[in-house]
Amino acid sequence: MPQILDGSRIRDQIKAECRPRVDRIIEQFGRPPGLAVVLVGNNPASEVYVRGKTKTAEELGIYNETITPAPSISTEELQRLIRALNTRPEIDGILVQLPLPAQIDSQKVLLTVAPEKDVDGFHPYNVGLLATGRPGLRPCTPAGVIQMLNRYEIPIAGKNAVVVGRSDIVGKPMSLMLLQENATVTVCHSRTRDLPAVCRTAEILVAAIGRAAMITADYIQPGAVVVDVGMNAITDRALAERIFDASRMANFDKRGSLLVGDVHPGDMARVASAYTPVPGGVGLLTIAMLMQNTIEAAERRTGLLE
């Protein structure tokens, strides 16, 4: 039987480690770490995600506020809002929830966030720190993947790792983090020739391509560790029937949709030696790593961490 890499277990470990760090900041500086989330527009998925961040911050004693400017806000107005947050001493972390409305230049906005408050790890300064192996704020999802592998004592050093996807949010930083763990890393994308064959070379396969159940048994080396970063909502019944067994289809008929990752769940469970389920895997760690980044930003800004 394959080992299921349970995200809730690792999330709870990380949260337990965060609490004394929050208490230490409060004890020494008279205030908790502070997180500001900027949410623009009416994206239901983003709203759910932000509520999860708010709940977790409150559980850990982290001060947090969600700022919801008008959906029609311009790039320049949003930049002014972020610059104001950059100057507020009680705010240690700033997160701009993506995606932003079409009229906003997302790159300009993300560049406006002060690097020391960039708890998403997207600013080029922090990307540079990652690329050169220096301490800094790391993108939350790939950092969560490394936490998952390390805490389950899955060896990374010397392993062949394949990352499917080259996004700035997951794919590129994931490849850099695996390199730092001494894996031999291949990054795949839409132009990769014979993608299944390349994926089959992986002892650790990370799927972050954003296509529901695209990675099937043909892509997986028997015994590989499979990390599924994808999160796709399936609302088409015919597609759901091709992916899920009868027990899951009962849930589909009840809810009208099901979540699936980028890897076919049945194939992953059948071929892999260990895998992250969807839901219940990597997705649970993203918010926990955001809280860890917020605490780290506060520790650096207050001098507790060099």
Residues in the chain: 306
Q: Is the dihedral of CA 152, 276, 202, 192 positive or negative?
A: negative
- Under DSSP, the state recorded for 199 is H
Output phi, psi for 144, to 5 deg.
-65, -35
Is 172 designated active site?
no
Is 97 designated active site?
yes
Task: Indicate which residue of 92, 117, 118, 120 is catalytic.
Answer: 120
Q: Which residues pair with 270 in a beta bridge?
A: none
Print burial letters for 147-168: b (CB count within 10 Å at least 16), e (below 16): bbbeeeebebeebebbbbbbbe
**Amino acid present at 164:** V
Give the separation between CA 249 and CA 141, rounded to whole angstroms. Answer: 29
Task: Indicate which residue of 97, 147, 221, 292 is catalytic.
Answer: 97
Q: The tokens of 253 are what?
A: 């008929």
Task: Indicate which residue of 53, 117, 159, 172 is catalytic.
Answer: 53
Output phi, psi for 244, to 5 deg.
-105, 155
SS3 171: helix
Q: Which residues pair with 232 in a beta bridge?
A: 260
Q: Which residues have CB under 8 Å from 69's CB, separation 6+? A: 38, 40, 77, 78, 81
Tell me the catalytic residues: 53, 97, 120
